[in-house]
Amino acid sequence: MDWPSNSPDLNLIENLWGIVKNRVEKRMPNNICELQQYMTEEWEKIPDEFLTNLIRSMRDCCQLVIDSNGERID
């Protein structure tokens, strides 16, 4: 099977960063200090249970990518 060199569907940290990014953007930081503060606050708000569920989702994500012949998944 040809495999994509970089599959964002199988990169858990990309999913997590997307969530943090969206939350920070909603807060509309005005400067680098606020950006850093908001990023830290939003990162710390992520519950451990969410991280555990994200990790547990990997088996299903891998299977979906295999089923889609390496194409992106929803």
Count structural domains, the chain.
Answer: 1
pLDDT for residue 26: 98
Distance CA 66, CA 42 (A): 33
Domain membership flag for residue 72: no
pLDDT band at 4 (very low <50, low <70, confident <90, very high): low
Domain membership flag for residue 55: yes
- Segments forming the whole domain that contains residue 36: 8-67
CA 50 and chain centroid, separation:
11
pLDDT for residue 68: 83
- Are 73 and 64 a contacting pair, CB within 8 Å? yes
Q: What is the pLDDT of residues 12-43, one digit of tens each?
A: 888 899 999 999 999 999 999 999 999 999 99
